[in-house]
Amino acid sequence: MNKKDLTPIIATHPGELIKDELKERNMTQKQLASETGIKPSVLSETINGKRNISLNVAVALERVLGIPADMWMNLQTQYDLDSAHIAERDNQRETISVTIPVRDRNLFRELARKFGWACVL
């Protein structure tokens, strides 16, 4: 089994877990920001996947939520790795050679242009 076999369809940002924890604890982002000392804008960007979880944020989350800082850091690392593998997978294109009998060359040229096919006529 190689990394391609283990690459998820989408990467899950650790902010999703923060969002889930807030919901389970009936807690608002504002309350969490206040208790952790994390700026509300930083917390919001993190929860929405626009900012990585830093070591300082991980330690603050551990203190308030009781979820170990190393778990937050591992989730961030896994997200980064998954994102890189997904980008690598999506950038790889398979080349297939096909011979197609064509009656209308102009139509075929238009299809080739539209779909980005490399053609020899």
Residue 70 lies in a domain: yes
Contact in structure between 110 and 119 (CB atoms under 8 Å): no
Residue 107 lies in a domain: no
**What does pTM read for this prediction?**
0.71
| CATH number of the domain within which 38 lies | 1.10.260.40
- Write the pLDDT tens digit of every residue in 93-114: 666 666 777 777 788 778 777 7
Residue 75 lies in a domain: yes
pLDDT at residue 4 is higher than 60: no
Contact in structure between 53 and 73 (CB atoms under 8 Å): yes
Residue 110 lies in a domain: no
Contact in structure between 20 and 44 (CB atoms under 8 Å): no
pLDDT at residue 1 is higher than 60: no
Rounded Cα–Cα distance for residues 97 and 90 (Å): 20
User: What's the total number of domains in the chain?
Assistant: 1
Residue 63, Cβ neighbours under 10 Å: how many?
13
The domain containing residue 9 runs over which residues? 3-91
Please indicate whether residue 75 or residue 90 has the higher confidence score (pLDDT): 75
Amino acid at 117: W
